[in-house]
Structure formats: C-alpha cells, structure tokens
C-alpha cells in the first residue's frame, strides 16, 4: 500500500490549511523540469486561489546538479530571515546561471543579511534539514524531480501545467 503524504508543521507552504487541494512537491532548484513545474504551479495557484495549499520540499539530485544542495540550503537560510519564497522564486528564475557567485547578490536583492546567509551556507547549517526532506522523499518513492503528491497521493503523470491541472481537478468540487 503506498504511503500517504501529509503536511508537516515545518513545511514551506502557501495557501490555507483548509484548502481542498494539497499539492506537495519534492524538487531540485537546478532541475529544468522543476523550473517548468514551478511556472505551472504559479499559474495553478492564481487559478485555484484559496482552494490550493502548496508545499515545497527539497530533493536535490546532487549526482546530476552540482549546486542543487547549495541552492536548497540557501532557500532554507533565506527562510530563517522570512524570505524563503522570494529565494525559491529567484532560484528558479536564475536557474541557468545559478552558482555560488550569485548567492550574495540574491541576498542583497532580497534585502536580507547576506553575511548571515553566507555564514549559514559556509557552516552547512541547513544541510540536515535538506537531507531529512530528501530522505523522506526517497522513503515516499520519489526518485526523480519533480515528484508531486496531490491530496496525499503520488502523482504519476507529467509535471506540465495541463497534466497537473487534470490531476488536481478531480479533487475540485
């Protein structure tokens, strides 16, 4: 029997906990398919409004994407300063050119303490958080990115907007 996925108190979420649709993504900031899915999720959020709760969890594919774990840790470090979603969006927007050289610039653009962010990255403060999310994803059957769960069930279709919308719409009253 497949595992049912639910929201955790420490998840990064956008939307109401009372939403009728809960969409959880295990993603990688360097994955081009995740970048495409990011745009699809943004559109679905606008389209579905209060009906959708979206949660993002890290699943960096370090064997394929050399800066994926760093990007995930940067998002977590920004999150401590209240800017997770800003960093999340920026990492996908700048995906093709992302590397260590952009971290301080991103922090400055977001007006967060870039010295603190750089120190957090240097000390790998959020490595355990990222590794825990990835391990949970693996336990739930994620092997590639993006992997989505809709209302607790693993989505086996594509991650483009049309496929996600079709899968989600079966939960819309």
Judged against a pLDDT cut of 90, whether residue 3 lies above it is answered with no
Judged against a pLDDT cut of 90, whether residue 1 lies above it is answered with no
**For the chain, what is the mean pLDDT?**
94
Q: Where are the beta strands (DSSP E) in the chain?
A: 12-14, 21-27, 52-58, 147-150, 153-155
Tens of pLDDT along 114-157?
899 999 999 999 999 999 999 999 999 999 999 999 999 999 99
SS (H, E, C) 24-73: EEEECCCCHHHHHHHHHHHHHHHHHHHHEEEEEEECCCCCCCCCHHHHHH
The per-residue pLDDT for 85 is 98
Distance CA 102, CA 46 (A): 29
The per-residue pLDDT for 170 is 87
Judged against a pLDDT cut of 50, whether residue 102 lies above it is answered with yes
Judged against a pLDDT cut of 70, whether residue 103 lies above it is answered with yes
Domains of the chain, CATH where assigned: 12-169 (3.40.30.10)
Helix-strand-coil percent breakdown of the chain, rounded to 5?
50, 15, 35
Distance CA 45, CA 131 (A): 27
What global pTM score does this model have? 0.94
Tens of pLDDT along 5-23?
889 988 999 999 899 999 9
């Amino acid at each position: 029997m497949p595992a049912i996925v639910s929201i955790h108190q420490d998840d990064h979420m956008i939307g109401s906990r009372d939403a009728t649709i809960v969409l959880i993504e295990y993603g990688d900031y360097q994955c081009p398919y995740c970048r495409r899915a990011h745009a699809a999720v943004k559109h679905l959020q606008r389209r579905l409004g209060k009906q959708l709760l979206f949660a993002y969890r890290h699943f960096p594919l370090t064997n394929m994407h050399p800066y994926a774990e760093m990007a995930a840790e940067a998002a977590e470090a920004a999150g401590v300063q209240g800017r997770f979603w800003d960093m999340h969006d920026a990492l996908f927007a700048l995906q093709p050119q992302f590397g260590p050289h952009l971290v301080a610039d991103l922090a400055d653009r977001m007006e967060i303490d870039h010295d603190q962010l750089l120190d957090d990255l240097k000390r790998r403060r959020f490595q355990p958080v990222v590794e825990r999310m990835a391990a949970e994803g693996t336990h739930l059957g994620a092997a590639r990115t993006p992997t989505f769960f809709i209302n607790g069930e693993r989505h086996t279709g594509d991650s483009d907007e049309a496929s996600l919308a079709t899968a989600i719409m079966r939960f819309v009253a």
